[in-house]
Structures are given as structure tokens and as C-alpha cells.
Structure 1
Amino acid sequence: MSGSSEPTGNASWNVWGRRWPEWVPFAAGGWGVLYAAVQVTWVMAEVDVRWAPHVSYPPAFHLLLAALAVLVALVCVATTRDFGRRVRGVLLVSLGATIPVSVLGMASLPAHVVTLASSAGVESATGLAQVLVNAVGTVLLVLVAIAYRRRLRGRCPRCGQKHPGAGDGPLAHPRAGIASKRTRRTVYILMCGLLPWAGVKTIWTLGGDALGVTAEGWREINAGGPGAVEALAAVGIDVTVLAAAAGVFLLLGLMYPWGQVFPRWTLVLAGRRVPRLLPLLPAWLAAVSLSVYGIFLMIFAPLTALGVLPNPAIAPPFTTTSGITWMIEFGGLAFGGLGLGLVAAARSYATRTRPVCAAHLPVHRPADASQFGSVTAK
């Protein structure tokens, strides 16, 4: 294990970062107050905020979200104080119940990212703002819940290990390693869900017909789009398939050592440790929304095919009900497979890369010391 001294210029920043369990509850509390103010402002100004392209938030729901945000702000601040067992349980349950609401509010984040990346513009600026605010809240609330749960279990709220003293010193990071064989097998199987969806879209883009959709109909529906999208389509690449390929790249990085230490082809970054949140944050944010959306589509398609639910309306470029139903199912397999794959890979990555407080490692974790390759001041 090699040590590294703390840069003087970055001392205050490093200390601030190390003490995130102390200030995150207050940051989450501030977010809750700001979120409530935004919701009330939108209601008073009669602003149309879209949850989906054709679905707007009703005013009453904005007010409900505002009230919930104020309550969760109080809960977050309360986690910094000592209470009895019953109150502690109520606080933890309250956080666990609030996080899914925030997650649902950011469910369309991947769709917005793809739209922006393809230069297609923003369908609803207020809708995007709502999604981003919910995404920030989700991250903060999860961090509060993690730190509070660790504290209740008598563990260091920062690293999750049992050790005496404060957890604001340097961290020891594990050596780069590969995900377990079971995780890799699971992720690769889930990735196969992309094949039918990506295959059909590639056939259309290359000029073929499939599921009752002709190449000409596909070109017409996508005509007049952003230049980047048309340029990719000209060489047989659909922009959403390209976005899925970026998701696959993230999946591979989460499973293999080059996602923990920058490889040679990254040039100036080669050999440096990859910041842990760099792949984890987008992975978790995308995983939850993609999983929920994909599972919904996988359930919806067969229910419509069996007549339990009404058949989806036929809209160009589709010409048959069966064609659009199959495409919905393919989309569910693709989004659900990618989302659940990200969950499995991100969970493995989080476990394999979890650092521990270095000051207590040699004394309290002697058997595990060999697996930690470096000590950093972060």
C-alpha cells in the first residue's frame, strides 16, 4: 500500500468531501424547501409541466409534491439528531417511502438525454427542469438514507465499516478487479434483450421492411429531423440504437477493470483511478427509470395481445396492430434488459470499488489489507 500526502491547496475541499454524511442531510433539506417553492410557483403561475409528451402534472399534484418535499426536508434534518428507536425507525421508513416518488419523477431522464444528444431540441423545458430537480433530489435522499442507516447500525456513515473515531481521513481503495462470473453471465443474458429491438430498427434504417413498417414509411416519419440524426441514418445507424450502445459501453466498464482504472487508450488519463461516481451515478440514474419503463412495456404488450387491455392506436409508420404490439414488447425487452443489467453491474461495481477509511484499515482489517492498492486523500 502506498501513501500519498494531501495537497495543501485542496485541503479544505478534501475535508469537505470526506464529511459528506454531515452536510448531505442539510443539503437534502435545502433541496426539499426549494423543490416545494418551485412546485407552488408553477401552480400560481399556471405553468404547464409535462410528465410525458402528452401528460401534464395536475395542479393538485404539484401541491401534494410540495407538501411531501417540506416533510422530507424536515426528516432529512432530523436524521442528524439522536432519537429513540421508534422515531429512528419512522425517519428511515419515511426516507424509504419518499425516494420512489422522486425516482418516478425522473423516470424520463434517459429519454431527455437521448433527445438532447441527437439535437432534437427540448419538448418541454419545464418538464426537463422537473426531471432534473427530481434527479438531484433522488441522489441526495439516497445518500441521506445510506448514511443514516449505517449510523443506526453502529458503522462509519462514510465507508460503512465498523471502526472507532471519525471517518474523515484518507480512503483506501480496492485494487481493480472483474465482476463475478455470475454477474457477468446475468448481464450478458439481459443485454440480449436489446437484439430484437435494435435489429428491427437497423433493418428499417438500412432500407428493409419489418413488422408491417416499410423503409419508405420509416424515412418519412423521420424526415426533417436534426442533421446529426439524418447523417447517422444515412449510414444505417439509428440514434436510439447508438444510445443503447453507449449503455452497453457503460455496462462493460462496470464489469471490467478498465472501468476502475483508465486504460491506455485514454491517453493522459491512463493509469489513473476512475472516480467512483463517474460510472455509478449515470448507471443508477438510468437503471431505475429504464427498468421501470421496460417492465411496464413487457407487461403491457401481452395484455393488449390477449385483449385484457385495449389495443394501442395504430400510428405511422406502423400499419398493423400486431406490428406495433411486437415493437412495444421488443422495446420492453430492450429497455428492461438494459436497465436491469445496469442494476446488476452497478451493484457489483459499487461492492468491488467500495473504499474504507485507511487510518483504521491496518488495525481492524488486517486480513483484507492486501486487496487495497492505494490510499488517497479524498
Structure 2
Amino acid sequence: MLSRWPAWVGYAASAWSLLYAALGLFWTFGGAGFPFGAGHDPEPLESILGGLPRTTAAPVIAGFGLIGTVVALASTRPGALRRPGRNAALRILVLGFAALSAVALLVVIPDRRLLMIVAYAPILAGMGLWVLLTGSDLPTIANLGLWTLTHQVGSVLGGLVWAGVAVSFARRKRAACVRCGRGDQTPAWTTSAAAARWGRWAVGVAVVVPLVYAATRWAWALGIRLGISEEFYQQGRANNIWWAGAALATLAIGGAVLTLGLAQRWGETYPRLVWFRAGRRVPPALAIVPASLVSIIVTSAGLEYLRLMFRPEFQENSWATMGPELLWPLWGVALAAATLAYHLRRRGACADCGRG
């Protein structure tokens, strides 16, 4: 079913939009569970929509859902948009709505709390033994809010199906294969040789940025006050924050190493280190799926840091503590590009059109 995604993604986007139209109407008339703003979101400062009142946002959500339902259904019938009387402007509007919806739902509405829950889950599990042995306290993290996180996961799912709508509709519009995107005139940059060239640059950027972040966190854990005041350093030391940051930095280093696999031989064939699979082919989805999801949550977190950096609440230590995170949108985009290059290099002949 996943391999046939162009056939059903428009209907999935329509169903998702209809659900959010219903939720928007429910919230408009006072229903519980509105996910944004003070009194609903436990940390409204985290969200770009945290300052929106329900009386304004809920009707907008309902309208967006209703329009999206219609547009998603229209995208499943691109032939109808080419009938006499249907001009190119309408096709551009459908494609533009799908693309903008995907960007907003994937990286604008979600915030860094998605990244926090993904990153801290293995760290907190691993630090459980340390707590038992030392009797120390785990670092306190923000009140993430279960329903807020649930809504953000729903936003990402909606963004993925809307991205699928945009891609499939664009392919149909230019008479290309909806499954692989190849047509009679395949763009030169999508060839395997071209993707190998520009993919290496993308991998390089996607490796360097997390290493910059990791260097600052390990410096603080090792007692080097890199860009922060003595008072701030001692506060973090008393709360075990710097070692929690070092654990996150270690995950970032591990992610950077795995990112190298998108441009290395061992990213296509299991190395001898993985003895039980050595020499066998690495399934492309094993790299593409997690790398794509990480690129999404890293980009959304980085965009939040860009927004928060210039708020008056952040003081002298903000540039040191948040400076590396300002590069995260670049990291996310580079990782997405590296993942795309990996896909282009590893895709074989299309099962539908036969092009290879």
C-alpha cells in the first residue's frame, strides 16, 4: 500500500483536513481541547501560535480544514483541471496550497518540544541507572503537555500527506510518472551521478552543524565556561544540566556519524561491524525514513530558536546557549537534501513506468 501512495494520498489529505475542520468548528463553539495559547498550552511561549486567542484561531482552523478538503479531492482528479475553462492559474493555486500547507504543518506549527521528547526519551532511560547508583536527581525539563505534543504529531502527519499531494499533483501536471517522478525529460540534477555530487555537500553541512552544537555542550560538561557567565555555569552544574546537555551532544554526534552513511558505501551495504548482516544490502527506507523525520523536527526546532532568540526574556547567556541552535534550520534542510540525494542514488527501475 505504501508503494501506491500517489493513489491514496489525496484522499488521506482530504480526510485529515475534514477532521481538522470538524475540530475547528468544535473549538469555535467552546469545545474542550484547543491546543494553543495560555490556559490550553502549558508552555505557550514555545509555540508560534501561542499568542492566538481561540476565538480567532478556531474559525481559521475550521476554514483551513474545509478548503483543504476540497483542494485535496481536486488534486486526485488533475484531468478535470485541464478541461476547457480550467486555466493554469487554478492548477497553480492547488499546487501552491498543498505545498504551503505541507511546510506550515511540518516545520512551522510544531516546535522544539517534539525534538525534546524524541531526544530525551533514550537519555532519561539511560540515566535511570545513574540515578539508582548515585541518588542524584534527573534534570528537570519543561512541562511538554501531552495534548500539545499529540496535536503536533497530528500536524506532522498532516504535513506529510499534504507534501505527498503536492508531489503527486506536480508529477501529474508535468505528465511524469506519479510513483517515481521520472518522465521523458528527467532533470539532470536527479540523475544518480549528479545526486552523488551535490549529496556529498549536503552531507557535509548536515554533519558539521550538529558537531558544533556537541562541542559547546561537552565543553560545559567538562568545566569549560564557553561563552557563559560563572553564575550561570554554577546554576547548571548544580542542576546536572550540563551532563544532560552532554548526553544530547552524544546523540548529536551519533546522528552525525549516521549521516555520513548517506554518502558512504557502508550506508548501502552493511559493514563487517554489523556481523549478523555484513555484506547484505541496506534497505533504503532504513535510512530514508528516520533521516526524513529528524530533518523535520530539527528544522522546526531551529525555527523556534530563531524566533525566541530575539525576545526580551532571553538575556546575556542566550547567544552562547542558543547560538548553535540558530544553525539548526540549515542542518535540517541539509539533512533533507542529503536524504533526497541518497534516495535518488539508490532508487532502481520504476515498477510502474520501467524507467531506471
Query: Structure 2 matches for 1:179-258, cutoff 5 A?
Result: 180-189=196-205, 191-210=207-226, 211-213=228-230, 216-222=234-240, 233=243, 238-258=246-266
- Specify the alignment match of 2:289 in structure 1: 281
Partner in structure 2 of residue 92 of structure 1: 95
What's 1:58 paired with? 53
Superposed, 1:45-194 pairs within 5 Å as: 45-47=31-33, 49-50=35-36, 53-55=43-45, 56=50, 58-59=53-54, 60-81=56-77, 82-84=80-82, 85-86=87-88, 87-103=90-106, 104-108=108-112, 109-119=114-124, 123-162=144-183, 180-189=196-205, 191-194=207-210
One-letter amino acid of the structure 1 residue matched with residue 249 of structure 2: V
1:183 alignment partner AA: G
Structure 1 residue 137: Cα displacement: 0.8
* Change beyond 3 A, Cα 1:29–1:262: farther
Deviates more, 1:145-154 or 1:101-110: 101-110
Aligned length: 311
CA distance in 2: counterparts of 1:97 and 1:328, whole angstroms: 28
For 1:304, the equivalent position in structure 2 comes to none
Indicate the SS of the match to 2:115: helix
Q: Does the CA-based 8 Å contact 1:179-1:256 persist in structure 2?
A: no
Q: Answer whether contact 2:207 2:259 (CA < 8 A) is retained.
A: no
Structure with the higher fraction of residues in strand conformation? 1
- Please give the TM-score of this superposition, normalised by the length of structure 1: 0.69
The separation in 2 between residues aligned to 1:283 and 1:350, in whole angstroms, is 11
**RMSD of the TM alignment (CA)?**
3.4
**In the superposition, relative to structure 1, how do residues 279 and 110 fare at CA in structure 2: closer, same or farther (>3 Å)?**
farther
Closer, same or farther: CA 66–269 of 1 in aligned 2, 3 Å: farther
Q: Distance in 1 between matches of 2:272 and 2:62?
A: 48
What's the secondary structure of 2:261's corresponding residue? helix
TM-score with structure 2 setting the length:
0.73
- Equivalent position of 1:294 in the other structure: 302
Determine the structure 2 residue equivalent to 1:327: 321
What's the CA shift for 1:128?
0.6
Question: Residues 220-270 of structure 1, C-alpha deviation per residue, up to 9 Å, x if partnerless?
Answer: 2337xxxxxx9xx3xx97222123124313422222233334444444444
Cα distance in 2 for partners of 1:40, 1:182 equals 46
TM-superposition CA deviations, 1:10-56 (whole Å, max 9, x none): xxxxxx34432111211221111223334444563343525783334
Q: Within 2, Cα distance between the matches of 1:105 and 1:68?
A: 14
- Give me the whole-angstrom Cα distance separating, in 1, the residues matched to 2:286 and 2:300: 23
- Name the residue aligned to 1:339: 332
Q: Which runs of 5+ in 1 are unaligned?
A: 1-15, 164-175, 224-229, 302-308, 315-320, 369-378
Identity %: 24
